[in-house]
């Protein structure tokens, strides 16, 4: 027990020390896989209460079919990955802790085909696979808040966190490294599932065209510049295959 306390205190010291440890802090995650599953279930229930979920079996079935096909390519399965569709006009998707992925109806209207949708879903699965949502929450709120939430959190706290996640207020805490890695994982999963690996690339080029036309896309503010993401994805097809 003393050793556990020592590790915890050292971890707190790392989190509160100078900026030179930032690359390490970016990877800090004190949430276990089991705790992340539990937190995800709570948040999923809350989002279903607060947000407009699409129940149309054709719409939901398409997302689930593609998502589950991509999941088969994961080299480990920490979560029971689940997919939902939210009524929202923005061309976005997001992931909450525990491998729960949400797609906006605006995204389904924006993508041209299943390959583009697979690219975006693969990107979100990359975030879930690398446990980026839990890391982002750790960075934003700190250890004490997470500990209280996991073990004695109130419904009000869960509701606040769920809505903050759904509106992108926490997911903006992904680092650029996280975003690049999610793109890589999405590329790998699309390739393994037999989708055209240019799907995400084509999606990003459409986004880039909107940006060049002066259209503001707020949820991309936290992402690396779209041209950088495009260049990195283009390079994946010319270099040695990346792996999970």
Asked whether residue 244 is assigned to any structural domain, the reply reads no
Higher pLDDT, 30 or 26: 30
Contacts of 240 (CB under 8 A, 6+ apart): none
Greater pLDDT, 226 or 196: 196
Q: Does residue 15 have a pLDDT over 90?
A: no
Length of the chain measured in residues: 244
**Domain boundaries, position 130:** 31-236
| pLDDT given at position 68 | 98
Q: Give the model confidence (pLDDT) of 173-195 as tens digits.
A: 788 889 999 999 999 999 999 99
Instruction: Note whether 76 and 185 are same-domain residues.
Output: yes
* Distant-in-sequence, close-in-space partners of 37: CB < 8 Å, separation ≥ 6: 79, 80, 98, 99
pTM of the predicted structure, to 2 decimals = 0.83
> Is 100 a residue whose pLDDT tops 90?
yes
Residue 29 has what pLDDT?
A: 63
Assigned domain for 242 exists: no
Q: How many domains does the chain have?
A: 2
Question: Residue 177: phi, psi to the nearest 5?
Answer: -60, -40
101 with 1, same domain? Answer: no
50 and 76 both lie in a single domain? yes
Structure tokens that stand for 44 in this block: 């999923």
The reply to whether 116 and 188 lie within a common domain is yes
Residue 241 pLDDT grade (very low, low, confident, very high; cuts 50, 70, 90):
low
**Do both 26 and 38 map to the same domain?**
no
CA gap 144, 85 in Å, rounded:
32
Greatest mean pLDDT range, 66-80, 142-156, 163-177 = 66-80
- Give the position of tokens 């909107």: 210
Q: Which of 157, 141, 63 is nearest to 102 (CA)?
A: 63
Residue 19 vs residue 26, higher pLDDT = 26
- 36 in catalytic set: no
Place 4 in a pLDDT band, splitting at 50, 70 and 90.
very low
Distance (Å, rounded) from C-alpha 140 to C-alpha 172?
A: 10
- Does 212 lie in the same domain as 126? yes
Q: Indicate whether 18 belongs to any domain.
A: yes
The reply to whether 20 falls in a domain is yes
Residue at 243 is within a domain = no
Residues 6+ away with beta carbon under 8 Å from 206? 110, 112
Lowest mean pLDDT among 62-71, 126-135, 136-145: 136-145
Asked whether residue 87 is domain-assigned, the answer is yes
Annotated active-site residue in 36, 116, 124, 184: 124
Coil/strand/helix, residue 93:
strand
Residues 174 and 186 in one domain: yes
Interatomic CA distance for residues 120 and 202, integer angstroms: 10
Among candidates 127, 114, 113, which has minimal Cα distance to 185?
Answer: 127
| pLDDT given at position 146 | 76
What counts of helices (H) and strands (E) characterise the chain? 12, 3
């Amino acid at each position: 027990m003393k050793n556990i306390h020592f590790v915890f205190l050292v971890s707190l010291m790392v989190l509160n020390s100078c900026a030179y440890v930032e690359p390490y802090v970016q990877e800090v995650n004190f949430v276990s896989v089991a705790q992340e599953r539990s937190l995800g279930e709570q948040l999923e229930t809350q989002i279903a209460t607060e947000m407009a979920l699409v129940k149309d079996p054709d719409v939901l079935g398409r997302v689930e079919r593609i998502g589950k096909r991509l999941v088969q390519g994961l080299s480990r399965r920490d979560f029971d990955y689940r997919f939902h569709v939210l009524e929202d006009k923005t061309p976005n998707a997001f992931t909450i802790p525990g491998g729960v992925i949400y797609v906006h109806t605006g995204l389904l209207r924006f993508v041209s085909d299943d390959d583009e949708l697979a690219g975006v879903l693969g990107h979100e699965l990359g975030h879930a696979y690398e446990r980026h949502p839990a890391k982002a929450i750790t960075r934003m709120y700190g250890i004490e808040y997470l500990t209280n939430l996991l073990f004695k959190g109130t419904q009000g706290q869960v509701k606040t966190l769920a809505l903050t996640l759904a509106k992108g207020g926490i997911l903006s805490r992904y680092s650029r490294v996280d975003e690049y890695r999610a793109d890589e994982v999405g590329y790998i999963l699309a390739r393994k599932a037999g989708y055209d690996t240019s799907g995400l690339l084509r999606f990003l080029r459409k986004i880039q065209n909107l940006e060049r036309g002066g259209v503001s896309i707020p949820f991309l503010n936290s992402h690396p510049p779209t041209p950088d993401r495009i260049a990195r994805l283009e390079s994946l097809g010319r270099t040695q295959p990346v792996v999970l």
